[in-house]
Amino acid sequence: MLDIKISNFHLKDIKNELHPSTFIINDEYDLLIMRLPLKQEETFYADNSSFIFTNDSYFYFDKDKKEFIDIKSIKQVYNILNKKIDESLCLSLEIFSKIEEMEDKFYENIEIKGFNKKWFTLKNQLIRMNRVLSKTIEQLKRFILNYKKEEDFLEINFHDLLEHLERAQRNSTHSLEKLDALYNFHTTNSNEKMNKTIYVLTLLSGIFLPLNLVVGFFGMNTSGLPLTKIENGTFFVLIILLLSAAITTILINRVKNKS
């Protein structure tokens, strides 16, 4: 049982689920808060693990019971953090795999439905994750530096935790770079499709505008118009329209094949 008085200020930090990672050294105790990204369905949440270290023992704050539990040794601190850090590493790899799947679909010209929404969701998750990991890595380094001279400190174990955190951060940073590259590729693709659509519309305008003028000309109450004094004049007009439609179809198909 924790028999020393914890500062109200520190207790408030411990009970605050949004508090960032921190390592605080005091005369009577040291406080370590490790904030880690953990998976929650299709997204993630940031989970805090809070510890109090005294001269006699190590204590873990149980968020459900709202009390400190004596975990006896630094090994138990490592075990608690190791499990959660492994989850964070797996989460970063899972997001990285999702982005690679999107990348493969782009290379195979498979349409990604709701790309902008998926892109924004992943981008937002990765930025938040990177921010959490950066602060946690910084504070874990301070903790290792201050405790590595202690007789019972598991320096190799905690350096392993640090390496896993740094790997998770590298994964998230690399994922952000891939996301930006995908967005640029998607934007370029969309612009090319838009340009081709505008090109086709320009072709259609170039073909049908003169025909509209001809139709308007034929509709005027004038004499001596082309094809009005020859047999089957209307038939010839229909042939011209059909030929124009055929030429337009061929041009559109060529544009599609090039894309």
What is the distance between the alpha carbons of residues 149 and 116, in angstroms, rounded to a whole number? 51
The residues, any chain, with a CB within 8 Å of residue 129's CB and separated by 6 or more, are 37, 44, 91, 92, 95, 172
Tell me the pTM.
Answer: 0.74
Q: What's the half-sphere exposure (Cβ side, CA atoms, 13 Å) at 174?
A: 15
* Category of 30 on φ-ψ map: left (φ > 0), alpha (ψ -120 to 50) or beta: beta
User: Where are the strands (E) in the chain, listed by range?
Assistant: 22-25, 30-40, 43-53, 58-62, 67-70
Instruction: Give per-residue pLDDT as tens, 77-126.
Output: 999 999 999 999 999 999 999 999 998 988 888 888 888 899 999 999 99
Report CA torsion sign: 233, 234, 237, 238. Answer: negative
1.10.645.10, 3.30.360.10, 1.10.260.40, 1.20.58.340: CATH of 8-193: 1.20.58.340
Query: What pLDDT is stored for residue 258 in this prediction?
Result: 60
Distance, in Å, from the CA atom of 49 to the CA atom of 47, rounded to the nearest integer, reads: 7
> DSSP label at 108?
T
Q: Which helix (H) or strand (E) holds 151?
A: none
Spatial separation of the C-alpha atoms in residues 142 and 173, rounded to whole Å: 22
- Would you state the pLDDT for residue 257? 65
pLDDT for position 53:
94
The tokens for 24 are: 């605080």
- The pLDDT score that the predictor gives to residue 33 is 98
Give residue limits of the domains in the chain.
8-193, 196-258
Q: Please tell me the predicted confidence (pLDDT) of residue 243.
A: 79
Low-confidence spans in the chain with pLDDT less than 70: 1, 192, 195, 199-201, 203-234, 236-237, 252, 255-259
d(CA 84, CA 89): 9
Reading the block at residue 229, the tokens are 């004094």
Residue recorded with tokens 């493969």: 104
Q: How much is the pLDDT for 38?
A: 95
The widest CA-to-CA distance across the chain, in whole angstroms, is 114
